[in-house]
Amino acid sequence: MDAITELGLKFPSIVDVEEQIAGPFDIGSTPYTVLFGPDGKPVATDLHGDAIEAAVKEALE
């Protein structure tokens, strides 16, 4: 968690040492981005680069 503070990250970040979150989402590596909809369910997963912006735009339409 110190790295999150030191880097001044402004977005939600989770440190999942015991893989309680990674297991259900089948996360094999980090960083791993999950975009959640208003209902709290994942809309898109494993996003990188331009795909993040595209998924957010699509979700907001």
Q: Model-level pTM greater than 0.85?
A: no
Task: Please name the helix (run of DSSP H) or strand (run of DSSP E) that holds residue 24, with its range, or none.
Answer: helix 22-25
Tokens of 41: 């369910």
Is 2 buried (19+), middle (13-18) or exposed (0-12) by CB count in 10 A? exposed
Reply yes or no on whether the pLDDT at 46 is more than 90. Answer: no
pLDDT at 27: 83
Under the banding of pLDDT at 50, 70 and 90, the label for residue 57 is very high
pLDDT of residue 34: 85
- Looking from the CA of 39 toward its CB, the CA atoms found within 13 Å total 4
Give residue 48's pLDDT band: very low, low, confident or very high (50, 70, 90).
confident
Q: What is the DSSP letter of 25?
A: H
Torsion angle defined by CA atoms of residues 10, 25, 52 and 57, in that order, rounded to the nearest 10 degrees? -100
